[in-house]
Structure 1
């Protein structure tokens, strides 16, 4: 694809010079003045003159183009160039540079044709370059796909969504609605974690809890995934569901198929990406959205201490002035359920430590979110760098893991340990896994179930970590039950 500059005035020339030094893109600057084109070529810029100003001629000279900057010397040429560029490349990103001599009527007409305008007299070439870059192309494609959806877009968070997934789903819904597309934030499973419930209730988020009996094709015309990237993996969608949009910050385990995909694993949260979309599209997030996105960013980066990057701080700086600080305080200090306290207590009692790695099983659970809270809490213990907490329901074993201050990639470790018998993944310092109970246990006896799960999970994880167990996992499980022999 070519990045194109149409015209080469006082803004276009320095911009062309900067673009020409970028090896990853072929630059084509079009001028109807052959002498100007010759002069640019002498400076090492790929400049080509355009004799006929019609769309076919432009496509013939320029080839495939995904972004165009309109920066002519003569202000009266800006509108004709905008019409030419849009006719030749209806799907390209167009940025127009106004100057002080651009007439008001031309400004209005050009603005209707292009994706973004700037006041060239007030901006640097670096600013123009940023606006003409990959983010502009991405936003152009994103808006086009949103507008193609003829009906309601289902914005799907992952199962039992956390604050990052919740805020991202609601945020993307608002963005879709601002572009004229109906959208509904959805999730499968439950919202049990007390802070997650507080987030939804205090900010009055209207999320739809989907069940298996919902006729997806009947109710929705399109599907977007946030904070995860594949249908049927950590959500209740059929794996064959065609996906329109994927926005996620987790590294993918396999090919992600969608009409629009934005995966940036260097970001600390999906909320960071969604906040960036508000900014790039020029949409001001309302207070409830800004509050949720800031909280989602904050929790997924562990208060900006875990896998955080510059864009996370920039997003937070834009959100903080619009966020409701009082609501944030109430979300962060909700009441804790008895089930959560019992799970954390069981995790403490049943802990097993080998070197600086702690594992613990809590038995049958009713709230899987409590596992993450236990993993975070146990990571605070002196001398512990990695924690893994697991529990099970009738059908699934859930695992939550945390680490800090190590070279370990926890997401890779869990994939190595459990990827062949279930789904696993995450980031270097925060990861999880889900394993069907049927992959581990054939009998229905509760005592046998707990024993087998304890043994398989613990031994697989320590083996992956390269740590030799000092005691069999079954012996630790017997201590937890308070018996001399298992089953007594």
Structure 2
């Protein structure tokens, strides 16, 4: 894709850049990066999202890198004529709210589960969406500020788990491109004081509730916690030497939120969660990391013992997928 085509599509319009709900560091960095890229080419855009920025590390990004994002409720003036660029997200996915504006562009690194005709589409199977955005600066020789380069570098580090998860050549090439252009004091600052005291309660619940069946670890968190924290805990559970697939789910106000992690090349986590949750909800994601949700109104369909129902469904699907390997 030619990034200048995106500039031409958006020129002379009111533009919003929308991330997935409850944006994580890669989503925030990617949105900031494309906002600054567009600004360099004469197109102003506002960043928006639905849900909350509820992890301390994500909140800290806004202050550290000077990023301004608006929640859906802060956008009363958005109209049907306004243009939306989806970043680190895709239209019709369960983790993206359908805002009133027109989604004309999509820049993402997740698999496509719901095809949609955008005027501009750049979806690549790479480790971090931030890598795609960084490539726009490199391809077009667009100047990048030290803060923006630092934010994108941090986004790459976080979504690839420091190059240990789903990393591709583009991720390493773009990190190298950003390395000499970034303010590394800003990146270093992001690694201090990023855990909140309440996070320990979620870790404790997951440890207390963990059950392991033949290398598949299940853990339930029986209270609301940030989506990003659920993902972090799933990484933590996967780090156990006896766990090859981690399935973490937490009770939230809108349903049961899932985070899945698989060891590299074992099976496709996105397909696993999509297939299992299909009768009750939805899910999807990358080969090694994925997520999903069962809405509150469908939880009763799991029966009296939802844990056994979920465990049986996941283990059955895992066995089916392993037989097909």
Instruction: Compute the TM-score of the two structures, normalised by the length of structure 1.
Output: 0.62
Structure 1 counterpart of 2:191? 332
CA distance in structure 2 between the aligned counterparts of 1:257 and 1:181, rounded to whole angstroms: 23
Cα distance, 1:270 vs structure 2: 0.7
The 8 Å contact of residues 344 and 373 in structure 1, kept in 2 or not, is answered as: no
Structure 2 counterpart of 1:252? 112
CA distance in structure 2 between the aligned counterparts of 1:422 and 1:214, rounded to whole angstroms: 30
Structure 2 counterpart of 1:458? 311
Check 1:395–1:143 CA distance in 2 against 1; reply closer, same or farther (3 A cut). closer
Aligned length: 320
For the pair 1:165 / 2:27, whether they are aligned, the reply is yes
For the pair 1:284 / 2:129, whether they are aligned, the reply is no
Within 5 A, what are the aligned runs for 1:417-436? 417-436=276-295
Structure 1 counterpart of 2:220? 361
Q: Which whole-Å deviations, capped at 9, do the CAs of 1:428-465 have from their partners, x for residues lacking one?
A: 111110110211227xxxxx99x644233322212211
Within 5 A, what are the aligned runs for 1:371-386? 371-386=230-245
Cα distance, 1:212 vs structure 2: 8.5
RMSD between aligned residues: 2.1
For the pair 1:146 / 2:146, whether they are aligned, the reply is no
Cα distance, 1:405 vs structure 2: 4.0
Cα distance, 1:140 vs structure 2: 4.3
Q: Secondary structure at the match of 1:211?
A: helix
Cα distance, 1:386 vs structure 2: 1.0
Structure 2 counterpart of 1:229? 90
Structure 2 counterpart of 1:296? 155
Q: Which whole-Å deviations, capped at 9, do the CAs of 1:226-258 have from their partners, x for residues lacking one?
A: 0011156312224x7531110001111021221
Structure 1 counterpart of 2:76? 214
Cα distance, 1:176 vs structure 2: 1.5
The 8 Å contact of residues 339 and 367 in structure 1, kept in 2 or not, is answered as: no
Cα distance, 1:363 vs structure 2: 0.8
Within 5 A, what are the aligned runs for 1:128-143? 135=1, 138-143=2-7
Check 1:287–1:212 CA distance in 2 against 1; reply closer, same or farther (3 A cut). closer
Q: Secondary structure at the match of 1:268?
A: coil
Q: Which whole-Å deviations, capped at 9, do the CAs of 1:82-135 have from their partners, x for residues lacking one?
A: xxxxxxxxxxxxxxxxxxxxxxxxxxxxxxxxxxxxxxxxxxxxxxxxxxxxx5
Cα distance, 1:287 vs structure 2: 1.2
CA distance in structure 2 between the aligned counterparts of 1:280 and 1:420, rounded to whole angstroms: 44
Query: Could you say which structure has the larger radius of gyration?
Result: 1
Cα distance, 1:209 vs structure 2: 1.4
CA distance in structure 2 between the aligned counterparts of 1:381 and 1:426, rounded to whole angstroms: 22
Instruction: Compute the TM-score of the two structures, normalised by the length of structure 2.
Output: 0.92
Cα distance, 1:407 vs structure 2: 2.2
Check 1:211–1:246 CA distance in 2 against 1; reply closer, same or farther (3 A cut). same
CA distance in structure 2 between the aligned counterparts of 1:212 and 1:289, rounded to whole angstroms: 24
Check 1:459–1:290 CA distance in 2 against 1; reply closer, same or farther (3 A cut). same
CA distance in structure 1 between the aligned counterparts of 2:298 and 2:111, rounded to whole angstroms: 26
